């Protein structure tokens, strides 16, 4: 048998496996005129919004689009990464989505998501298509593509006086999502999503408290800023390897670490500080040996802008401190010394402009999540 025949046979076998699972799971016969493998291919080519709607139209389509095989197959056809602009107003997240490589004017797609009563926001980041919200006693996972929330089980040892601090990560080798929570500084636990299990206790080595800053998952490692208690308290960066479930900690390469934003830059952990004229970048070149490199770049930014993150292409993202009729996002490429702007149309007409008693705070109620991708996974 030649390679082409083997490939064809392998494809047929995979399709047959998926077909059997869908049919048996819903007791649906294959008497329809359209073969199931063709239906799978058609569904995988649909836009995300259409796939979500199809789940409520047909039990068969719902069964197909929720299988791991379909989700993996669809991920290969997913749209390019986008940037999410998330405004929180009362109990709602108002989400705007636009391609992050779009120039000049971009008409954004927007939608609203109701925040669960047990969920609030302190840290927010997009991890392989999912977002983690911290509740008072548990973590809540949000899938913006499905517009759904998935509360995780309550971790062990959460008393009435303790809040849960946690992070979400994705391990790319095994393709698994894992959540990490820290209770009371010494009680650290990990949970593998997608399978029905309880939180597992891990040993961090040091009692530590995560700061309010957002963590970053980079190449299967969750990095977060924390205060470590070893003789005298000091600030460090903790790393949690999702595959081996092991902790490590790294000293900051500078003293004034508070003004540096922790990001993923060129596939590595980096600390970036920016003013309107100077950008400083510390990159972790060798995590094992704690070796950092330092770069400085000069630029000329519009006034009253703030660094919000970095896209995978290496461009830094800036936004303003006030809402204008045409909300502007500025991208700066330090390597090419190039600045481009994207003005988002449609935000001015949204209800975030409607006055209310609480007002709106662009510092505490506004989040920019770059490199966001579609995800159809549910738990």
Q: What is the pLDDT of residues 190-226, one digit of tens each?
A: 999 977 678 999 987 788 889 988 899 999 999 999 9
Contact 71, 319 (CB under 8 A): no
The encoded tokens of residue 155 equal: 């971790």
pLDDT at 178: 96
pLDDT at residue 351 above 70?
no
| Structure-token match 């600390």, residue found | 271
The whole-number pLDDT of residue 136 equals 67
**DSSP tag of 215:** P
Backbone angles phi, psi at 73, to 5 degrees: -65, -40
At 350, give phi and psi (nearest 5°). Answer: -80, 165
Q: How many helices (H) does the chain have, and how many strands (E)?
A: 5, 26
In whole angstroms, give the CA distance from residue 99 to residue 185: 39
Q: Give mean pLDDT, residues 16-40.
A: 55
Alpha-carbon distance 72 to 47, whole Å? 15
76-80, 114-118, 145-149: least confident range: 114-118
Per-chain mean pLDDT for the chain: 81
List b or e across 277-306, with b for residues whose CB sees 16 or more CB atoms inside 10 angstroms. Answer: eebbbbbbeebeeeebeeeebebebeeebb
Burial 58-69 (b: 16+ CB within 10 A, else e): eebbebbbebee
Residue 133, pLDDT score? 84
Q: Is pLDDT at 364 greater than 70 in this prediction?
A: no
* Rounded distance between C-alpha atoms, residue 187 and residue 166, angstroms: 12
Confidence label for 353 from pLDDT (cuts 50, 70 and 90): low
Q: Is the pLDDT assigned to residue 29 strictly greater than 60?
A: no
User: By mean pLDDT, which of 29-43, 313-327, 349-363 is the weakest?
Assistant: 349-363
**Confidence check: pLDDT of 272 > 90:** yes
DSSP secondary structure of 30-93: S-SSS-HHHHHHHHHTS-HHHHHHHTTT-HHHHHHHTSHHHHHHHHTTPPPPEEEEEEEETTEE
Overall average pLDDT of the 367-371 stretch: 92
Least confident of 35-39, 292-296, 305-309: 35-39
The domain segmentation of the chain, as residue ranges, is 3-75
Burial (CB < 10 A; 0-12, 13-18, 19+), residue 2, is: exposed
Point out the least confidently predicted range of 158-167, 231-240, 297-306: 158-167
Q: Which pLDDT tens digit goes with each residue over 127-174?
A: 999 999 886 678 889 999 888 888 899 888 766 555 677 899 999 999
Comparing C-alpha atoms, which of 309, 283, 282 is closest to residue 214?
309
């Amino acid at each position: 048998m030649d390679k082409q025949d083997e490939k064809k046979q392998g494809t047929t076998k995979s399709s047959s496996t998926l077909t059997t699972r869908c049919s048996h799971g819903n007791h649906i016969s294959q008497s329809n005129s359209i073969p199931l493998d063709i239906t799978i291919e058609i569904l995988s080519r649909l836009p995300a919004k259409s796939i979500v709607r199809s789940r409520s139209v047909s039990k068969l389509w719902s069964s197909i689009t929720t299988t791991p095989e379909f989700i993996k197959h669809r991920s290969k056809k997913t749209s390019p990464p986008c940037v999410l602009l998330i405004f929180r107003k009362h109990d709602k997240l108002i989400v705007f989505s636009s391609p992050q490589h779009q120039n000049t004017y971009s008409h954004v797609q927007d939608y609203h998501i109701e925040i669960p009563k047990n969920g609030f926001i302190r840290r927010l980041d997009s991890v392989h298509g999912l977002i983690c919200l911290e509740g008072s006693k548990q973590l809540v996972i949000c899938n913006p593509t499905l517009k759904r929330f998935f509360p995780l089980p309550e971790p062990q040892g959460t008393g009435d006086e303790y809040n849960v601090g946690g992070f979400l990560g994705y391990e790319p080798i095994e393709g698994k999502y894992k959540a990490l929570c820290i209770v009371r500084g010494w009680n650290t636990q990990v949970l593998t999503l997608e399978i029905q299990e309880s939180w597992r206790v891990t040993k961090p080595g040091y009692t530590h408290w995560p700061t309010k800053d957002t963590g970053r998952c980079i190449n299967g490692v969750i990095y977060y800023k924390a205060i470590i208690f070893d003789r005298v308290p000091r600030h460090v960066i903790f790393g949690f390897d999702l595959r081996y479930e092991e902790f490590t900690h790294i000293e900051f390469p500078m003293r004034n670490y508070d003004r540096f934003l922790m990001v993923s830059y060129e596939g590595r952990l980096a600390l970036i500080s920016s003013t309107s004229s100077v950008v400083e970048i510390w990159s972790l070149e060798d995590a094992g040996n704690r070796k950092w490199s330092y770069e400085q770049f000069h630029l000329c930014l519009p006034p009253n802008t703030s660094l919000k993150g970095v896209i995978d292409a290496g461009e830094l993202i800036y936004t303003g401190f006030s809402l204008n009729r045409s909300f502007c996002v500025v991208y700066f490429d330090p390597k090419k010394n190039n600045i481009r702007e994207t003005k988002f149309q449609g935000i001015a007409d949204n209800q975030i402009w409607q006055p209310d008693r609480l007002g709106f705070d662009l510092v505490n109620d506004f989040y920019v999540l770059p490199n966001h991708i579609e995800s159809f996974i549910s738990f």
